[in-house]
């Protein structure tokens, strides 16, 4: 069976199907209502796309620096181009999609990550790092990590989840360098978006290990147990029938 989980985590699957952020239905049809554009800067044009869910009729808004509509005979059509990765061409959406991050991860953390990623896409590094730090901090609260400060809490998280590569959790500790009270404004410069991207990706990997992987393991084991049970049942039915047919 093909793995559809990647598609489940997208906003736009193709030019007609998406995962609706309002009614939370996956793989529903949407309609591109229209688009407009404005001057983001002297040279840059930004396109605004409004999309309506065919299921709940709610409208979402998406910003892109690219022209995403298909071009028919001399004019733009009323849908996105076929065969392009729409998600990667859009840098900001309202509402943001919760589907992008696995829904077994606590909602508050998902919201903060989505906000951090949105800010990062627009190069709002201060906002992005603040959201990332808050998201990591919320995780230490949810996981009841002990300690007076951020560093100790992260160390406690490492102890609690010894199965997670400690290097991954160490990366999370770096975020405090971005936001420590001692850091002066000019120190922000050293933290370019690459560092923040690394921390965010690492954070998602850690969240996956904490909230997703254990559940998936449980599901796999349950699935094997079900199959085994079925074989035992089938065997029993067979032998029962055999006894009835041929009672000795």
For Zn ion, the binding residues (CB under 5 A) are: 20, 22-23, 53, 55-56
State whether the Cα torsion 33-36-41-43 is positive or negative. Answer: positive
> Do 64 and 31 meet the contact criterion of CB atoms below 8 Å apart?
no
Q: Say which residues have a Cβ less than 8 Å from residue 192's Cβ, sequence separation at least 6.
A: 125
- For Zn ion, the closer of residues 18 and 80 by Cβ is 18
Give the per-residue SS3 of 19-49: CCCCCCCCCEEEEEEEEEEEECCCCCEEEEE
In the complex, least distance from residue 20 CB atom to Zn ion, rounded to whole angstroms: 3
- For Zn ion, the closer of residues 53 and 125 by Cβ is 53
In the complex, least distance from residue 57 CB atom to Zn ion, rounded to whole angstroms: 7
In the complex, least distance from residue 89 CB atom to Zn ion, rounded to whole angstroms: 21
- For Zn ion, the closer of residues 21 and 191 by Cβ is 21
Residue 64: C-alpha distances to residues 16, 95, 193, 200, 221 (Å): 18, 15, 19, 22, 43
In the complex, least distance from residue 16 CB atom to Zn ion, rounded to whole angstroms: 14
> Do 63 and 48 meet the contact criterion of CB atoms below 8 Å apart?
yes
- For Zn ion, the closer of residues 20 and 154 by Cβ is 20
Residue 58: C-alpha distances to residues 20, 62, 77, 81, 125 (Å): 9, 14, 21, 22, 31
In the complex, least distance from residue 19 CB atom to Zn ion, rounded to whole angstroms: 9
- For Zn ion, the closer of residues 25 and 121 by Cβ is 25
């Amino acid at each position: 069976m093909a793995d559809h989980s990647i598609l489940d985590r997208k906003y736009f699957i193709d030019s007609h199907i998406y995962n609706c952020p309002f009614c939370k239905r996956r793989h529903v049809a949407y309609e591109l209502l229209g688009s407009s554009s404005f001057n983001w800067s002297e040279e840059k044009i930004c396109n605004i796309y409004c999309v309506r869910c065919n299921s709940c009729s709610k409208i979402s808004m998406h910003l892109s620096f690219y022209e995403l509509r298909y071009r028919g005979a001399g004019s733009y059509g009323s849908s996105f181009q076929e065969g392009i990765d729409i998600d990667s061409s859009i840098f900001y959406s309202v509402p943001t999609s919760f589907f992008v991050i696995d829904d077994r991860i606590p909602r508050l953390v998902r919201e903060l990550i989505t906000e951090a990623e949105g800010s990062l896409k627009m190069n709002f590094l201060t906002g992005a790092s603040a959201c990332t730090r808050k998201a990591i901090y919320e995780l230490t609260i949810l996981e009841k990590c002990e300690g007076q400060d951020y560093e100790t809490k992260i160390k406690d998280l490492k102890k609690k989840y010894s199965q997670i590569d400690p290097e991954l959790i160490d990366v999370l500790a770096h975020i405090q360098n971005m936001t420590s009270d001692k850091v002066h404004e000019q120190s922000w410069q050293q933290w370019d978006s690459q560092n923040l991207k690394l921390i965010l990706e690492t954070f998602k990997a850690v969240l996956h290990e904490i909230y997703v992987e254990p559940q998936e393991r449980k599901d796999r084991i349950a699935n094997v147990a079900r199959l085994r049970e079925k074989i035992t049942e089938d065997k029993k039915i067979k032998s029962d029938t055999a006894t009835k047919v041929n009672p000795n």
